[in-house]
Amino acid sequence: MNKKIITTAALLGGIAIILGAFGAHALKKLLTTDQLITFETGVRYQMYHALFLLFIGNWSNIAEKTKKIILHLVLWGVVLFSGSIYLLATNDLTNFGFEVIGFVTPIGGLLLITAWGVLFFENNKKTA
């Protein structure tokens, strides 16, 4: 499980760096300042959670079942939260109205918050 978590963390982190560079260079001329800031928010939260997974994958005090739950919450949270932000920020570049998927952004955020909550409760379990 640790290898899977660390691999996922590496992929999310690498993709965040690529998207950050893409936003800073290629999209700079195509998006407004507000749209770029929105895009960067998606990148920032993706990187935060890549680092979170890296931490989880290297921490031995968490049960494997809990690690798996956190992995799935973070992965889906990043896809829904950051992914929808990327699409919404670049909406003006396409003919598709991504505003219709805006409702998934807070769902993704809730999944990310839940992942942190799972870590909190796992770490504060009372041992018999």
For 45-74, write each residue's pLDDT tens digit. 999 999 999 999 999 889 999 999 999 999
Q: How many CB atoms sit inside 10 A of residue 57's CB?
A: 21
Q: Looking at residue 127, what is its pLDDT? A: 60
Say what the pTM is: 0.90
Residue 125 binned pLDDT confidence (cut-offs 50, 70, 90) = confident
The two tokens of residue 40 are 């960067």
- Residue 90 class from Cβ within 10 Å (0-12 exposed, 13-18 middle, 19+ buried)? middle
Q: How many CB atoms sit inside 10 A of residue 26's CB?
A: 10
Q: Looking at residue 81, what is its pLDDT? A: 97
- Residue 122 class from Cβ within 10 Å (0-12 exposed, 13-18 middle, 19+ buried)? middle
